[in-house]
Chains A and B, each alone.
Chain A
Amino acid sequence: MKGSWIQRWFGRGWLSLGYCFLYLPIVVLVVFSFNESRQDMVWSGFSLRWYSELVKDSEILSGFGLSLRIAVLTACSSVLLGTFVAFVLDRYRRFPGRTLFSGMASAPLVMPEVIIGLSLLLMLVSVQKVFGFPERGLTTIWIGHTLLGMAYAAVVVQSRLQEMSKSLEEAAMDLGCKPFQVFFLVTLPNIKQALASAWLLTFTLSLDDVVLSAFLSGPGSSTMPLVIFSRARLGLDPRVNAVAAITILVVSIGVIVSSIYLARAERLRQKQIAAAFKGDAG
């Protein structure tokens, strides 16, 4: 359908304004990371001063190290548990407690993070009282992030499991594969792309989380978002802009590389499918 001239231009205008709104803060962060002055948001000349100060900022650097470790751990455990959850929700239609199970599995997506953080902390405190561990810090933050990450990973993996054709698994079963063989030889290769995107999603989720980390961190274990958040509460800090610019650079490269890779993988897959059909016909 071709709209009228006015409609087309209105559409283009609305889309451009929308994208400006979405990208304005990102552009501002990058531009002002090169600003020389400490004075907030007045451009006074190009400088790399804040980047060199960032390298000397031990609070942010150690926060980054901790965040990175937690994010890697969280992504791995979330994908593992999320795959279990997705598998159960997709394959096991009937078992005692299924309603409770599916409710608990998706609840972290809608619960306010403040509530999840508070209740997890109260439980971990009582566990610590009885058993003497875990100390508040990396482990407790990891537990919290995994609870949230698992829910997201489950959604991603489940949608892939749903669209995957079951006949492949049935064929493998007919040919005498044991259930775990079917899973590792047939199901897993089919969902590996979903696992990869779930890993990346939960990794960024963990790297960015403030609220759960604030409840679950202990003395001396501030993640990078916690450091940034406490500075942002006080006011503007140009070093935070430098952190943002670096993040944005890394993310843009990552998104571009992965989208090229995915497009190539998809083309290859289509080619293989076409070849398979040709082989069938011949």
Chain B
Amino acid sequence: MLKFLTDLLTLRWLTGRRFVIAVPFVWLVFAFLIPFLIVARISFSEVDAGNPFGTLLTYADGIVNIKVKIANYLFIWGDELYVLTYLSSLKYAAITTLCCLVIGYPFAYFMARARASLRPVLLMMVMMPFWTSFLLRIYAWKGILANHGIANHVLMALGVIQEPLHLMNTPFSLVIGMVYAYLPFMILPLYANLSKMDMRFLEAAADLGATPMQAFWRITVPLSKSGIIAGAMLVFIPAVGEYVIPELLGGPETLMIGRVLWDEFFTNNDWPMASSVTVVVILLILVPMAILNKHQAEQREGGHK
């Protein structure tokens, strides 16, 4: 026992390997795990401006009382606003993913089929916008889509429209902004996949009498399935929880969960409610994602064996 204690105090247990694991582990537990436990804990407490942490456990007359308030959760379930917001976040994320795929797939395809000397430049030009501020690029769309913005000026000068169109703060401007921001996330995995494709399959298909269209749909697309899935995940997951784009480009009717959470926290100052919404988001959106992710990883590993 004494030896155990002295070992513990003199850090003799701390081998190099343990140290390398412990440093990031401790950090992650403190910066990531504990905050989530606190959120889960607060989500069960009452609104109390003075003490949002409340007390779940009270000890009186020799009896431990556990006070768990699930009112917040019942409220979320009962209130149409929250249910609609979840559905609408999923809807906009799905639309964004689909648009990115429709634009991004041919883009990545033609990139991968471009001259080999040109490809690094094309690739760098896709990545370049990443390095310039995301916030500023989204802000720029405000100027383009505003009522007196560039899009309306150009369309009116061309005689396409007589009156300026109302584009800003609509579902349209929201989707434009989201597609714009996430398009590179779709293009890059698709490009990585398509540029590695074995062209002999296509030659074989052509030799066997397939038209280019048939070869594309029956060979190229199925072979790029993993790239499509990777790109769709990279777009869909962040799109669901997006806050900045809906706030700057969306309108009052474009409900997104990130924005509702933000308002619950900053405007209504209702920390327990915001915490409950957080817990539900994690359960509803992220747990299925994690399961899907794990399933795919297992499939990949299974495929290699």
Contact = CB atoms under 8 A, between A and B. Distances in A.
Contacts of A244: 132-133, 136, 139-140
B165 interface: no
A65 to B, nearest CB: 17
Interface in A98-152: 101, 103-105, 107-108, 110-115, 118-120, 122-123, 126, 143, 146-147, 150
Interface stretch (A53-61, A87-95, A161-169, A267-275): A87-95
A19 B141 CA distance: 16
B106 A14 contact: yes
15 contacts: A11-B113, A14-B110, A15-B114, A23-B129, A29-B136, A39-B148, A40-B148, A85-B24, A92-B17, A101-B24, A112-B281, A115-B281, A122-B39, A208-B133, A243-B136
Contact of B184 (A22, A97, A143, A146): A22
A236 to B, nearest CB: 6
B172 to A, nearest CB: 15
Nearest to A104: B28
Contact of B143 (A28, A81, A255): A28
A101 B140 CA distance: 39
Contacts of B36: 119
B11 interface: no
Contacts, number: 208
**Which of A28, A95, A243 has its CB near the most chain B CB atoms (within 10 A)?**
A28
A232 interface: yes
Interface string B94-133: 0000000001001101110110000000101110110111
Contact of A118 (B128, B136, B248, B265): B265
Given A92-B20, A115-B241, 13 more contacts: A1-B203, A22-B126, A23-B129, A25-B140, A101-B24, A110-B237, A111-B286, A114-B258, A115-B282, A119-B39, A211-B243, A236-B143, A244-B133
Nearest to A144: B31
Contacts of B139: 29, 228, 232, 240, 244
B109 to A, nearest CB: 8
A29 B124 CA distance: 20
A233 interface: yes
A31 B199 CA distance: 43
A42 interface: yes
A1 B184 contact: no
B23 to A, nearest CB: 5
A251 B131 contact: yes
Interface stretch (B2-10, B57-65, B71-79, B271-279): B271-279
Contact of A104 (B32, B106, B150, B212): B32
Nearest to A123: B35
A233 B247 contact: yes
B132 A232 contact: no
A119 B129 CA distance: 30
B178 interface: no
B246 to A, nearest CB: 11
